[in-house]
Amino acid sequence: MITARKEREHSMNQSMNTADIREVVARVVAQTPVTDLHTHLYAPAFGPLLLWGIDEMLTYHYLAAEVLRVSDMPYEAYWALPKKQQAELIWRELFIERSPMSEACRGVLTALDRLGLDMTERDLNTHRDYFMDRRPEDHVDTVLKTANLKCVVMTNDPFDPLERPVWMNGFAGDKRFHAALRLDALLNDWGRACATMREWGYDTEPDLGSKTVAEIRRLLDEWTQRMGALYMAASFPPDFAFPDDSPRGRIIESCVLPAGRDNGVPFAMMIGVKRNVNPALKLAADGVGLSDVDAVARICAQYPDNRFMATMLARENQHELCVTARKFRNLMPFGCWWFLNNPSLIEEMTRMRMELLGLGFVPQHSDARVLDQVIYKWEHSRAIIAKVLADKYADLIATGWPIEENEIARDAARLLDGNFWNFLGRN
Ligand code: FIX
Ligand code: ZN
């Protein structure tokens, strides 16, 4: 009797909830504000470093790579064009001469549409009009509101001659833009970084002796504090190894990890980029390679008092990275990086991560270089995250486990915002 009633209730519950679940999850995920933990955006106080508007969107390096495949214009001739003309070429070749099928092309259209532009209009100049007399300050608010972002994290390089003076002149901060201390210059070209640090007054020598180690540590401490950096980060080639007797490995062990532990900031490792595969493509020149996930496991095992974030560029590394994250609570996998930031791969990765890690990962970051891009990057990713979540809730409902909307909201908030802040220990 009881069993029969239970079965009836169970099947009613199932049919009611599974019918609604997709719509509810999609709405809740869309309404959940995001912390975008890795972007290349800047606060308006950084002046021209903050890229925004249609010509910047069209000349995104993802689209430069695409146009240089279909156009027979020599690479150098393309790069010699003023930005406006590069944008016009891309619009003509990738949007007018053929349908804008790639994810990067579709993204431009999503962003323009959500900003309220008329997408039946194919005249680029008409779209340009919208951006003409906007102020960057206001545009930031419009875009973050449209994309429903709480805040973004910038990529901040103390060795960058354009951004360095803004920090040195006492950037007052902007609650919409947090900082991440980026260490590629220090870790991936020590000879040059050493010389630059000497010019700045640090007592450094190429040999990485104890005096130099102390000076690098001083630089890390000063810049973590100056920027209020939430984490330190670096991108690495596929042959990233750990432990490693190269300058990179030695600086990581003797400077970055002690600084991370003492200052309470994680180290984000972005592994698998082959820089400059075709140098003629400039910012679009980089490729991808398979990396060694054991290096990640070893660093997490040897430094349990440090926290590590990791994203890997090769699709083939994703499963092993997930399994490694199950073994180390000081490891947080994040995002679908760069060539993985495409719907089919986001779905595959998000599904796999959820099946292996439950809700304990950060599903996405935008990597936006142009402000307006966060609109499309997050709309497209949210839809996929919602789809995967809805499937998983449907599976739970099928066991008789009821799901309520407030539980969905709680889970979505963990994925899109809370997991990152909890991992930082700042909640
Ligand atoms: O190293 C990185 O942070 C990469 O994400 C970028 O350098 C890359 O150019 C990019 O924008 C990828 O989306
Ligand atoms: Zn990036």
Containing 123, the helix (H) or strand (E) segment is: none
Ligand nearest to the CA of 285: 1
Q: 240, 291 in Cβ contact below 8 A?
A: yes
Residues 6+ apart with CB under 8 A from 374: 36, 39, 41, 143, 144, 147, 149, 152, 366, 368
Nearest CA to ligand 1 atom 2: 235
Q: How far apart are CA 221 and CA 199, in angstroms?
A: 18
Ligand 1 geometric centre to CA of 84 (Å): 23
Counting ligand 1 atoms within 8 A of each CB, the residue from 187, 273, 374 with the most, and so the one to mutate, is: 273
Q: What is the pLDDT of residue 232?
A: 99
Of 215, 211, 159, which is closest to residue 189 (Cα–Cα)? 159
Residue 333 belongs to what H/E stretch?
strand 331-333
Kindly give the residue spans of alpha helices, DSSP state H, lying in 239-292: 247-251, 257-263
CA–centroid distance, residue 4 to ligand 1 (Å) = 57
Residue 18's pLDDT is 74
Q: Is the peptide bond before 243 cis (omega within 30 degrees of 0)?
A: yes
Q: Map residue 135 onto helix, strand or coil.
A: coil
Report the C-alpha gap between 279 and 312 in whole angstroms: 22
**Closest atom of ligand 1 relative to the 273 alpha carbon:** 1
- Within the chain, how many helices (H) and strands (E) appear? 20, 10
Cα–Cα distance, 293 to 312 (Å, whole number): 9
Cα(303) to centroid(ligand 2), Å:
25
- Tell me which of 38, 40, 274 to substitute to probe ligand 1's pocket, judged by most ligand atoms within 8 Å of the beta carbon: 40
Ligand 1 nearest atom to the CA of residue 369, by list position: 11
Q: In what order do the strands lie in the sheet with 177-178?
A: 34-36, 149-153, 177-178
Query: Which amino acid, one-letter code, is at 256?
Result: V
- Atom of ligand 1 lying closest to residue 235 CA: 1
**Cα–Cα distances in angstroms (integers) from residue 75 to residues 81, 216, 276, 280, in the given order:** 10, 39, 14, 6
pLDDT in tens, 85-109: 999 999 999 999 999 999 999 999 9
Strand, helix or coil at 398? coil
**Distance (Å) of CA 92 to CA 84, 102, 105, 151, 362:** 12, 15, 12, 34, 37
Q: Which ligand is nearest to the CA of 63?
A: 1
Query: What is the DSSP secondary structure assignment for residue 174, as one 8-state letter?
Result: B
Query: Ligand 2 centroid to 70 CA: how many Å?
Result: 25
Per DSSP, 334 falls in state B
Closest ligand 1 atom, CA of 367? 13
pLDDT beneath 70: ranges in the chain = 1-17
CA of residue 373 to ligand 2 center, whole Å: 13
CA of 323 to the centre of ligand 1 (A): 25
CA-proximal residue: ligand 1, atom 11 (nearest): 367
**Residues whose CB falls within 8 Å of the CB of residue 74, separated by 6 or more in sequence, listed in order:** none
Residue nearest to atom 1 of ligand 1 (CA): 235
DSSP assignment letter at 417: I
* DSSP classification of residue 343: H
- CB atoms near residue 406 (< 10 Å): 9
**Cβ < 6 A, ligand 1 pocket:** 40, 155, 235, 270, 338, 367, 369
End-to-end CA distance of the chain: 49
Residues forming beta bridges with residue 153, ordered by sequence position: 178
Q: Are 51 and 101 in contact (CB under 8 A)?
A: no
pLDDT per residue over 22-75, tens digit each?
Answer: 999 999 999 999 999 999 999 999 999 999 999 999 999 999 999 999 999 999
Single-letter amino acid code for the residue at 192: R
For ligand 1, mutation pick of 367, 370, 377 (most atoms within 8 Å of CB): 367
How far is it, in rounded angstroms, from Cα 81 to Cα 79?
A: 5
Say how many Å lie between the CA of residue 367 and the centre of ligand 1.
Answer: 6
The beta-carbon contacts of 42-46 under 8 Å, at least 24 apart in sequence, are 42/154, 42/163, 42/177, 43/140, 43/154, 43/171, 43/174, 43/176, 43/177, 44/136, 44/137, 44/140, 44/174, 45/166, 45/171, 45/172, 45/174, 46/163, 46/166, 46/171
Residue nearest to atom 3 of ligand 1 (CA): 235
Q: How far apart are CA 167 and CA 169, in angstroms?
A: 5
Nearest CA to ligand 1 atom 13: 338
Q: Which ligand is nearest to the CA of 336?
A: 1
Predicted pLDDT of residue 427: 84
pTM of the model: 0.96
Contacts of 355 (CB under 8 A, 6+ apart): none
Cβ-based neighbours of 175, under 8 Å, separated by 6 or more? 151
Quote the DSSP letter at residue 418: I
